[in-house]
Amino acid sequence: MATIAEWIRREKPTLFVSDVSVEVATLARLMGTPVVVTAMRGNRHDEAHRLAYDLADALIAPWPTFLPEPGWPSHWRAKTVHTGSISRFDGRSRPPESAVATVPARKWQ
């Protein structure tokens, strides 16, 4: 936390994105930095997740809009951006079939 706090103090980011760490999101918010939290599906009504989702300026939901999370309060839904799936392969073309290596099946003993 000290390393992150020092980085925020030094760099003064205009936005901090937390993948799933409530503690890190809270630290950034306490230091006055706007926070975006990557949301997770499922029941997130425990105190820790409620804190992170409430303090976030926005929630990133890596699922489509047509599959909303049931039971979320309206103030979470209002600040949610549904992105659909996120992949390191986004925007890349598929390699030709000839370039794809085949892995031989492993023989279990």
Q: How many domains does one find in the chain?
A: 1
Range of the domain at 61: 2-87
39: its two tokens:
């949301």
Which position has the token pair 């986004």? 90
CATH label of the domain that carries residue 75: 3.40.50.2000
pTM of the prediction?
Answer: 0.78
pLDDT in tens, 68-101: 788 899 999 999 999 988 888 778 887 777 666 6
Q: Residue 69: which residues within 8 A CB-CB, separation 6 or more?
A: 39, 41, 42, 44, 61
Q: Residue 13: which residues within 8 A CB-CB, separation 6 or more?
A: 33
Neighbours of 56 (CB within 10 A): 23
The radius of gyration of the chain's CA atoms, rounded to the nearest angstrom, is 19
pLDDT in tens, 18-45: 988 999 999 999 999 999 999 988 888 8
